[in-house]
Structures are given as structure tokens and as C-alpha cells.
Structure 1
Amino acid sequence: MSSRDYEMRARAESVTATRWRILRSVLDLATERLTVEVTLDDVAARAGVSVRTVLRHFGDRERLLDAAFEAAAADIIAERLAPADDPTRAIAVLVDHYERRGDLVLRLLAQEENPRIGPAMATGRLVHREWVVNVFGTALPGGMQEQEAVIDLLVVATDVYAWKLLRRDRGLGRVVVEARILALTAAVLADAREGKSE
């Protein structure tokens, strides 16, 4: 590799690293405050760059927010990947995800009326429902109506608000929260097997 190729590669890696640092700063700030309160000055300071650098990478604040939410969505899907039909492992993966992103998601849910945030939250609900079907699929009862009722209950039992109630409101430890969510899902499935979930 020539010194010119090396310099170009190093420059490209530096640009990519700066871009990710800026996006991470947006997401960190969005966990701490409402997105309308996240300024370019704050993002630049958190990322250790100038506002001009932020604008050079993203153009304006709106495109910066869009890029940050898009990056977060991709990370969330990857973080939530869990083995199908292994609820114990899947709940552990989910609680790990909530430990990393739960506060951000809760803050975004509080801003759902924002036209930039609302569609992302609607997509998140669909993704979570699909996750439930993937994880608990073989344990679901036979009929469509029965399945929908059980899926609804499992969605509630594994929702970020369940994590919030146990972890943030009750102050329970991560391991206890995981055990409680697993107990909730087991109870829902046990009731379904006995025909009590309709």
C-alpha cells in the first residue's frame, strides 16, 4: 500500500469515526432531555468537534436527527436479536437491550406527537410484536383469536414500560427484573394452555 493510499484510508476512517461520535452524542443527549432541547452546540461539545464539523457531516439539525434515529433503529434491531423458542435467553437479551436503550426509548415515547418521532415509535411497536411472535411462536395456542390474545399479553409483559415499572419505579436489580418478566411470560403461557387468555 502506498503512503497516499494509507493516508486516504486513514482519512476515511477518521471521517467515519467522527460521524459515529456525532451520532452517539445525539443519542446520548436524547436520553437526557427532549429532542427539541438538543442543540447543535450541545452535540458538537459532546462529540468534541465544532458545529461546523457537525454541519459538514449532516447538513442541518433535522438531517442530523434523522441520521441518529436511523442509526439507533439499526442498533436496536441488532441488540434485540434473540433465539426463537428460547424465552429464557430471549428475555435476557431483551433486558440487556432495555438496560442500554430503555431510558432513550421512554423519553422518545414521551415525545410521540412529534412527527419525526411518532413513526419511529409505531415501527418500534411492530418490531416488538414480531419479536414476541418469533420468541414465543411454538408456545402460542392454535387458533388465530387465541394467538392474538396471548400475543397481546406477551407484548405487555415484555414491553419497555414493564421494565420501567420494575427497574426504574421499583428500583429492582437487573437480575430480578429479568426473573419477573420471565415469570410474567410463563404465567401468560400457562394460562393460554389452560384456555384462560381469551
Structure 2
Amino acid sequence: MKSARPYTMRARAAGAESTRSRVLAAAVGQLKGRLRSDIRLNDVAAQAGVTVQTVLRLFGSKAELFRRALDEVLEEMRDDLDQAEPGDVAGAVRTWFDHYEQFGDVVIANLADEHDPAVAPVVRIGRERHRERVRTVLAPQLGRFSGDERERVVDALVCMSDVYTWKLLCRDMQRPRQEAEATLEMMINSLLGGS
């Protein structure tokens, strides 16, 4: 009988970890397509096949669940955006457009709701990471600028590659993606002196 107990405890621990992973995956999936304020714990629990009480027992609170889910989403986004090599303007534009096609609508909705204390940190992180990505992927071209001029160029590149530029080109002007990407590449290359 004593030998069965450690096995039972390991099986329970494995089951709990599997449930935790399912709940977190459900929260991540919800965050990718909806505003956090629109997501109920019932939605996450139903998608994971558990009760709301189980979600709360595993994560303690809705805020903690979504903090962890946001970390996962941000890491996935970073991995996706890191596909372009530094200096590759076309690759950078392609990864931005891939990102915006997947998350653009949620990002724009979050920007509209950034006064909400639950949304404001997400918007702040998004802005910081976008600026960081611009600096990283266009670092070779930025090397010829210095001081205040470099910061103004980075500001301009952040504006050019912003989600609203994607929305303007692809949604409002209804340009085909290939044409929209070519337009953004032209803007960036014009500023940086590339071809």
C-alpha cells in the first residue's frame, strides 16, 4: 500500500499541472482575440473544461491568471516579431503585418480603452516593445544617425510602422497586403536613405 501512495501523488500532481496548462492556454487564446475586459472567467473555464472555482484555486484570481497569460502572449509575439534579421526592411515590414493581421484589431481596441487601469499596462508594454523592435531591426540603418536626429528618426519609424498605419493602408484604403507592404517599405527606405 505504501508504494501506491507516491504514484498517486505524482499522478495527481501531473493531473493538476495538465489542468493548469489547459486553463492558461484557454486564457492565452482568449487574450489573442478579445479585450481582457470582455473576457469572463466562465469563458476561460468553459474552454478549458473546468469550473470557475478550479481556475481560481489554480491561479488565485482573475488578475493573476491574465498576468500570466499576458506574459505568454507577449513572449509569443516577441518570437514572431524576431523573425526579421536586423537591417532587413522587407522582413521587418512582413513581420509587422503578420502581427497586425493576427492582433491588430485587439491592439486598436486596447488603444481605445487605454484609460482603463487594466488595459493601460498592456498598451504601455506594447508601445515600449514596438519602439524596442524598431531600434533592433533597423539598427544597421540607424547607425548613421546620432543624438537628437537619431531619436527623431526612431520616432518617425515608430509612427510609420504603427498598427494605425497598417489599419489605414489595409482596412481604410483597402490596399492588398503586398501593395500595403511595398508602401510601408518605400516610406521607411525614403527616410533611411535605402532603396
TM-score by length of 2: 0.81
Aligned residue pairs, count: 187
Instruction: Return the offset for 1:162.
Output: 0.9
Counterpart residue number, 1:133: 135
Question: CA RMSD of the aligned region, Å?
Answer: 2.7
Instruction: Return the offset for 1:12.
Output: 5.8
> Is the 1:25–1:46 Cα contact (8 Å) retained in structure 2?
no
Instruction: Return the offset for 1:39.
Output: 1.6
Counterpart residue number, 1:41: 42
Counterpart residue number, 2:113: 111
Instruction: Give structure 1 stretches of 5+ with no counterpart.
Output: 194-198
Mean Cα deviation higher: 83-92 or 65-74: 65-74
Name the SS for the 1:18 alignment partner: helix
Instruction: Return the offset for 1:10.
Output: 5.5
Instruction: Give structure 2 stretches of 5+ with no counterpart.
Output: 1-6
Q: Distance in 2 between matches of 1:37 and 1:13?
A: 27
Counterpart residue number, 1:169: 172
Distance 1:183 1:110, change over 3 A: same
> Is the 1:132–1:155 Cα contact (8 Å) retained in structure 2?
yes
How does 1:15-164 map onto structure 2 within 5 Å?
15-28=19-32, 31-32=33-34, 34-81=35-82, 82-140=84-142, 141-164=144-167
Distance 1:40 1:19, change over 3 A: closer
Overall identity of the aligned pairs, in % = 35
Q: Deviations over 1:89-141 (max 9, x none)?
A: 12212211112222222222122112232123222212211211112222233
Mean Cα deviation higher: 138-147 or 5-14: 5-14
